[in-house]
Structure 1
């Protein structure tokens, strides 16, 4: 079983922000694979189904981004997932809009959601897909940038990033992380 966890902030105020692109990707995967995202469990909204022939859990933590590790650990216990079974999907303002970077593990790169997960799991060795939402305009506060919505000019590129991220995740699940890294990084 694989656990695909898209990070974001819960609540309507954050719904269409750049920081919530992980949630958008989970919604799109759920639509494509007909996975019903059910009632809250383990501090997340989650549903299980199949990506090709692989059983997968799609989840969105109900914790704030900076406390994502709490929900991720609960999901791992509930669904018997090891860190290497995960693919954590996060925004990255250091990557150009639409650029993808899949890794088996490694540094949090300053992302507080990943820092929380690393702290709670006790390891950096869990796959993560960074989705570019940047670059942040010069002089703009990073927090303000990630909590802003995509501009009208960026909307199509953001939708394309969601579609490509879904394809990357599907390939990682069916053909392995290495194959997806070679195709999408």
Structure 2
């Protein structure tokens, strides 16, 4: 069984903000696949689907970014999903807007959502799909991540969401992190 978990903040106030890049990427995939997050349990909205004969769970934690690990750990523990079968989609300020990077494991890189997941799962051994949102030039980090993408940035993100869709499809089909890194990094 695979778990695709996207990070973001719940509610309309945050819906189109940079910090919700993970939610936006997963929403893009779900829309194109005619899927919806139809369950509200484990402190998140989720759905369980059979894709190519394999069970896959798609999750958007509703715990706010800094507590994302609570929801992910609950669903992973309940369904006995191994960390290497988890793909977390999240924003990354240390990369240019729309740049994609796959990581097999590692530290949080200062991302509070990833810190929470590491703490709650008790491991760094889960996969990440990082999407660049760029570091703010002239405003605070909090202000930056809580504003929407503008003009050209939104076009770059739309392209990143298309690529993310392919990455999710490959991960669900059984491609491992090394393959994904070679293909998309």
TM-score, with structure 2 as normaliser = 0.94
Q: Distance in 2 between matches of 1:58 and 1:92?
A: 20
**Is 2:39 aligned against 1:34?**
no
How far off is 1:75 after superposition?
Answer: 1.1
Q: How many residues align?
A: 184
CA contact (8 A) 1:33 1:50 kept: no
CA contact (8 A) 2:4 2:59 kept: yes
Matches within 5 A, 1:162-181: 162-174=161-173, 175-181=175-181
Find the residue that maps to 1:90 and give its secondary structure. Answer: strand
Query: Which residue number in structure 2 is paired with residue 17 of structure 1?
Result: 17
Q: Distance in 2 between matches of 1:107 and 1:130?
A: 13
- In structure 1, the gaps of 5 or more residues are none
Query: Which residue number in structure 1 is paired with residue 63 of structure 2?
Result: 63
Deviations 1:27-61 (A, max 9, x none): 12222333231131100100122444432111100
TM-score, with structure 1 as normaliser = 0.94
Q: Distance in 1 between matches of 2:56 and 2:5?
A: 10
CA contact (8 A) 1:51 1:170 kept: no
* TM superposition outliers: structure 1 runs of 4+ over 3 Å: 50-54
CA contact (8 A) 1:103 1:128 kept: yes
- My pick for the range that moved more, 96-105 or 29-38, is 29-38
**Is 2:160 aligned against 1:157?**
no
